[in-house]
Each structure stands twice: as structure tokens, then as C-alpha cells.
């Protein structure tokens, strides 16, 4: 663990945040049970923050006004060290601003602020994306928290399900080589319930690009539960890496480039378009039950 970390506590959990990626790295219940994936070798992250893209661009290349810039999957924020701007017993705030390194990959001026706030059984994660430049800011942002799967080590993975707040009937999207396939695919959600199994993720993430829900609950018949709800995000990704005991529930605003899209970045589907001096705020909440 980084020596520079901040701990937030409530009666329902203890959360630890580090400035590297402004990342949540631990979420323990009062019994000391770790609910968050602990960055094992098979996937060396906990709950990365995705910015300025979600997913992958074709050829990992961003095109802007005749120039090309290297941009790898999910952007650079998860690998950058944020600055602390506030640290208190119930909340903390971190900020990342553009610099010469970011402009070599993303030629836009921005400020990304991430705030974690404790409220009883809830951990709120708020993103503020501010356009500090003089042209439109095209950007995506997303959460990528990875929870242990199973949450209780003596349960099978198949004992768990995800329950949506509303019935989900729209087709889902899938990826091929990290890019969005052209055609939608059948939705594995039955009514409000997604029965979990490793086989669901043999074809990479499940992407709901038209979710009817604004919250999901991840649980078995007994033991701890996790509810994730969101505001301002438009898409939801659900992912696990085969062979890893993790389950990611990911509120997104944006998604990987369609497989046939290789145009100007500002024309990429799914982006926010933020005017100069404007700010977009997006939030998700983790509720520990």
C-alpha cells in the first residue's frame, strides 16, 4: 500500500483511498471482511477511474485536427498521481489537471476532481470534469470498482446474482479485440436478474448501452451485499476476467470505439461535449449491506 493514503470510516465499512489514480483500494465491513478485489497478479487494480476515455480507441490512437496521439485503453487517469485538495474524517477530494504529459496524449485542457464521501452505509464517488480551455472538451469518464467474487470465500460464484432496479429488455453490446461490435446481442438478464457465472464473461464485458435501471444489487442468498447506483452515467459495464475472483460493476459515460470508427475523436460516439468553463458532474454510490 502507498504510504500516502486516506481512510474513511462509517458504521458499515472502512474505505482506503490513495492518490495514485485517486483509487479506492480497500473496502472492509465491520467484521474485517475485504469486499474489494486486492489487485492480484491476474488483474493488478482495485477500482480504477477511467478518463478521458472508457474502453479502447481503434489502434489506440486519438485523432484531433489532423494530428494523432497515443491513447491506451481506459485513458491515463488511472495511472497518474492526483493531488489531495481536501482530507477529512468523512470525505476526501483529489484533483488531476492537464500538463505536458497529458497533452502529449490528449490535447485538451481539463480539471478532473474525484471526491469520496461517507454517508452511513454509503460511499459516494463524485467526478467533476471541468473544461479549463477555450474549445469544446470531448471526454468520457467511468468507474471500474472490482468486488471480490465470491464475497464470502465459502460460497460458489454461481451462488451470486445481480438484481437490477428495473427490468432490462434491451439488447446488450459486446467487444471484439477491445472494440464495440457492430450488432447488438441478446440480453442475458432475465427480467431484473442476472445469474452470475464465469461463462458470461468468456466474451469479455457485458455492456448495457441503454440500461433501464439506475442501480444494481450484487449478492447471494446470505452474507454481505453490494448495491451500486449512479447519476449522470449513461451506460453500465459488467465484467470479470476469467480465472479471477473479481466482479466489476462499472457506471460509464462512454464506451469503446465502434469497430468501424476511426475518425476525429470529437465525433466518437458516447462522449460528453463540455463547453469552455463548464463542468459536468457524475456520481456513483456503493452501499454495503
Q: What is the DSSP string of 220-256?
A: -SSS--EEEEEES--EEEEE--TTSSEEEEEEEE--P
Please give the pLDDT value at position 3: 62
- Contact (CB, 8 A) for 275 and 136: yes
Give the start-to-end residue ranges of the domains of the chain. Answer: 6-288
Per-residue pLDDT reduced to its tens digit, 173-215: 999 999 999 999 999 999 999 999 999 999 999 999 999 999 9
Give 40-43 contacts, CB < 8 A, sequence gap 24+. Answer: 40/244, 40/246, 42/241, 42/243, 42/244, 43/146, 43/241, 43/244, 43/246
Residue 130, all three cell numbers: 471541468
pLDDT reading at 2 higher than 80: no
Opening angle at CA 13, ends 84 and 75, nearest 5: 45
The pLDDT, as a whole number, for residue 269 is 97
| DSSP percent split of the chain into helix, strand, coil, nearest 5 | 5, 45, 50
Q: Which pLDDT belongs to residue 1?
A: 44
pLDDT above 80 for 62: yes
Tell whether domain 6-288 is in CATH 2.70.98.10: yes
Confirm whether pTM is higher than 0.75.
yes
Q: Specify the 3-state DSSP secondary structure of 108.
A: coil
Please, are residues 127 and 112 in contact by the beta-carbon 8 Å criterion? Answer: yes
pLDDT at 51 over 90: yes
Mean pLDDT of 250-256: 98
Amino acid at each position: 500500500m502507498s504510504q500516502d493514503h486516506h481512510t474513511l470510516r462509517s458504521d458499515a465499512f472502512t474505505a482506503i483511498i490513495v492518490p495514485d489514480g485517486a483509487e479506492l483500494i480497500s473496502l472492509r465491513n465491520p467484521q474485517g471482511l475485504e469486499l474489494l478485489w486486492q489487485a492480484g497478479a491476474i488483474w493488478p487494480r482495485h477500482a480504477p477511474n477511467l478518463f478521458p476515455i472508457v474502453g479502447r480507441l481503434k489502434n489506440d490512437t486519438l485523432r484531433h485536427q489532423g494530428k494523432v496521439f497515443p491513447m491506451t485503453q481506459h485513458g491515463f487517469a488511472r495511472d497518474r498521481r492526483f493531488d489531495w485538495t481536501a482530507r477529512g474524517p468523512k470525505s476526501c477530494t483529489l484533483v488531476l489537471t492537464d500538463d505536458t504529459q497529458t497533452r502529449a496524449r490528449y490535447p485538451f485542457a481539463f480539471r478532473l476532481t474525484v471526491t469520496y464521501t461517507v454517508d452511513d452505509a454509503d460511499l459516494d464517488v463524485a467526478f467533476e470534469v471541468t473544461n479549463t480551455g477555450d474549445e469544446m472538451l470531448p471526454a468520457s469518464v467511468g468507474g471500474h470498482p472490482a468486488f471480490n467474487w465470491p464475497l464470502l470465500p465459502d460460497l460458489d460464484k454461481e451462488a451470486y446474482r445481480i438484481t437490477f432496479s428495473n427490468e432490462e429488455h434491451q439488447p446488450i453490446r459486446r467487444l471484439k479485440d477491445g472494440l464495440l461490435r457492430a450488432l447488438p446481442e441478446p440480453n442475458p438478464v432475465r427480467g431484473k436478474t442476472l445469474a452470475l457465472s464465469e461463462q458470461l464473461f468468456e466474451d469479455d464485458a457485458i455492456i448495457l448501452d441503454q440500461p433501464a435501471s439506475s442501480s444494481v444489487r450484487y449478492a447471494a442468498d446470505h452474507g454481505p451485499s453490494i448495491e451500486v447506483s449512479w447519476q449522470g452515467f449513461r451506460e453500465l459495464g459488467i465484467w470479470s476476467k476469467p480465472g479471477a475472483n473479481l466482479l466489476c460493476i462499472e457506471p460509464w459515460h462512454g464506451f469503446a470505439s465502434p469497430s468501424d470508427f476511426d475518425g476525429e475523436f470529437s465525433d466518437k460516439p458516447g462522449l460528453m461535449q463540455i463547453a469552455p468553463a463548464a463542468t459536468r458532474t457524475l456520481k456513483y454510490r456503493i452501499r454495503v449491506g
